[in-house]
Structures are given as structure tokens and as C-alpha cells.
A = this chain, B = another copy of it.
Amino acid sequence: MEYTEGESDPGTTRPGGRTARVRAAVLSAAADVLAEQGFAHLDLADIARRAEVGKTTVYRRWGTATGLVTDLLLDMAQQSVPRTETGSLLGDLTANARLVQRTLADPRQGALFKAVIAAAGSDPKAAEALYGFYTARVEEWAPCVEQAAARGEVPGGTDAREVIRATSAPLYYRLLTTALPLDEAAADRAAHAAAAAAAAGAYVRKAGT
């Protein structure tokens, strides 16, 4: 690797026109490859060919496969779907679980998540981007648990973020470690389980945590 952060990254001073088109073409080509073949087959020279873009440009702007995947995640993070409020914890968690399920079940987006998770295993920057992404998502949804606490649906002292994570966790587990279908029933089950566990006080913060 040679195109490290010298002065300012390319694409930051004149981000419009051609630069934006190149970025869009490269990200799109990368997403195609991920969906078709997975992260291991992501090589920058091939991406450049598919995107009909100079190989030099791809190496200069993204450097490595993990860098490209990281940018892809940041790009996806832009389109954040706003949280819905249904009036009950189960309803809110179900909405969240179904959103996650639809995202992961989508071939392109699901493949992207697998790729970022794979990349995060070796690349600290990818890991940081991934953690940041989930922190933001969890933070976005945590209030629904706090509202549920105010309504008396869950005990006081319940760790709201942990409840949100517990809702997503079974879906990721399915995606990554099983061949089982990631359907709406799985989402509803995850939401139901998280709501029941929260109501039973499983996520009440203990002293010293």
C-alpha cells in the first residue's frame, strides 16, 4: 500500500462531477461483486475493469478491498430509515427486527454486511466503521425501550441498548452461522423474545456494570 493519507485524500477538494461519477460506478461494481462472489473475490483491478475506470484511480482512492468495503458501508449508512413508533415495546421491536431482517435478506445489502464483518476481522478501520455504524443504529432505536420503561412495560434500570442489540442478534446469527432462511417469522420471533426477556428483567443493569 502506498496511497496513504498524504495531506488530503483525493476526492475531497473537488468532489463533484466526474469524481462523484467514478465513486458511484466503483461502489456499484463492488456491490455487484460482493453479491455475486463474496468478499474474498473482491480485487481492485477487477473492480476497475467492471466500473470502466482507471485502475490507478481505484488504488489511489480506496487502496485496499477493506477500504472499499468500508466506504460502501459509509455510503449505506447515509440512507438511514427513521424509527417508527407503534405505542408498544413489542410493536417497536418488531418494526426494528423486520427492518433488519429485510436489510440482511436483500442480496446486495446482506452480502455487504457479511463483507464488512469479514473485513473488520483483519482491518481496524473497517472494524471502527462497523462499530460506529451499529452504535448509531442502536442509539437511534434505544429510546423506544426507554418509553416502554416509562409506560411500565419493562423494569426500571433496563439497559435499553442491550435490548436493541438482543433484537438484532438472532438475525445476524442466522445469517452468518446457519443456512436457515432469514424470513419475517424469524424477525417476529426475535422481537418477541427480546420483549419477553426485557419484561422479565433480563436486561436490568447489575451493580458495577
List chain A positions with a Cβ less than 8 A from chain B. 37-41, 65-66, 111, 114-115, 117-123, 127, 130-131, 134-135, 162, 165-166, 168-170, 172-174, 176-179, 185, 189, 192-194, 196-197, 199-203, 206, 209
Contacts and interface: CB of A to CB of B under 8 A. Distances in A.
A177 B135 CA distance: 9
A122 B37 contact: yes
B114 A121 contact: yes
Contact of A118 (B121, B135, B168, B174): B121
Q: Is the interface of A mostly helix, strand, loop or mixed?
A: helix
Given A172-B177, A173-B165, A121 B196 contact: no
Interface centre among A127, A176, A194 (most CB of B within 10 A): A176
Contacts of A130: 177
A178 B2 CA distance: 29
A168 to B, nearest CB: 7
